[in-house]
Amino acid sequence: MELRPKSTPTEKEPVNIPSAGPSARIDAWWWLVVLVVGLAVLLIVAKSDPFWNILLFVRDGLVVTVLVTVTAFIFTLIVGMFGGLGRLSQNRIVYGISSLYVELVRGIPLLVQLIWWYFAFPVVIQQIGRWLNISTLANYQVNAIFIAVVGLVVCYGAYMSEIYRAGIQSVPKGQVEAARSLGMSYVQTMRYVVLPQAFRVILPPVGNEFIALLKDSSLVSVVAVADMTRRGREFMATHFNPIEVWTMVALLYLVMTLFSARMVAWAEKKSRFER
């Protein structure tokens, strides 16, 4: 009878570790995007009369929605960065102004802010023009899209300021001290050391803010902006078919938000690093 030698303690069978395998190239949640797009296409093809006409009617509003959202988000990132740095400033005046801005804006609903910017702000500008005897200001007429972007930026800039502040504070102080000891100025330290690391931390909440901004952009319809929501209301008021109209509008918003969420997840994966 042949005897097999016993395996030594160092000899072990290979173990399959599920998490160690190659990661999937395609995010499984993309299938949800495909499903929603397929549902919208199916409705258009199966019942072409209402849904296709709705899509044609609101397509210009869709462009306005994307334009307002992207423009407002770009300026929100800039305002939030300065607001976050102001919240961390050692200067009491800068800190006080930044904190006052954040606390006041966060306490007022976005819809109320948009209404104030559209109806009250022009009156303030006109009154100032009368006091200063400046005809340009006295006859100021508001641009709906411009003022809607301003309202969104002012509101979301306050929330973005807190996101930036949290991200900057997550960077160890030792790295800031090391950068300053190498002769870097405060601006150089923030630009080359702190902000690149903080970006990875704040990317998920910044992505969530973009998705929230995309959905909240529907509120600009109350201040005469012909976005997708307003165009849907106009179509419904003419044809009296609320089910078809708001189903189509909801699907369009859902496609944009799901696609944005997948792009944010992709950006997070690309910027991920091992600690």
The pLDDT tens digits for 202-251 are 988 999 999 999 999 999 999 989 999 999 999 999 988 999 999 999 99
In a domain, 116, yes or no: yes
Q: How far apart are CA 188 and CA 181, in angstroms?
A: 12
Is residue 155 within 8 Å of residue 72, measured between CB atoms?
A: no
Q: How far apart are CA 71 and CA 270, in angstroms?
A: 24
In a domain, 187, yes or no: yes
pLDDT at 5: 53
pLDDT at 24: 47
Nearest to 110 by CA among 206, 204, 218, 227: 218
Q: Which domain holds residue 137?
A: 63-223
179-201 pLDDT per residue, tens: 888 888 888 888 888 888 888 88
CATH of the domain at 97: 1.10.3720.10
Q: How many angstroms separate the Cα of 236 from the Cα of each of 30, 50, 229, 231, 239?
A: 31, 11, 11, 9, 5
In a domain, 52, yes or no: no
In a domain, 9, yes or no: no
pLDDT at 19: 41
**pTM confidence score:** 0.84
In a domain, 138, yes or no: yes
pLDDT at 188: 87
In a domain, 190, yes or no: yes
In a domain, 80, yes or no: yes
pLDDT at 251: 93
Give the residue ranges of the chain where pLDDT is below 70. Answer: 1-26, 47-48, 272-275
The domain total for the chain is 1
In a domain, 264, yes or no: no
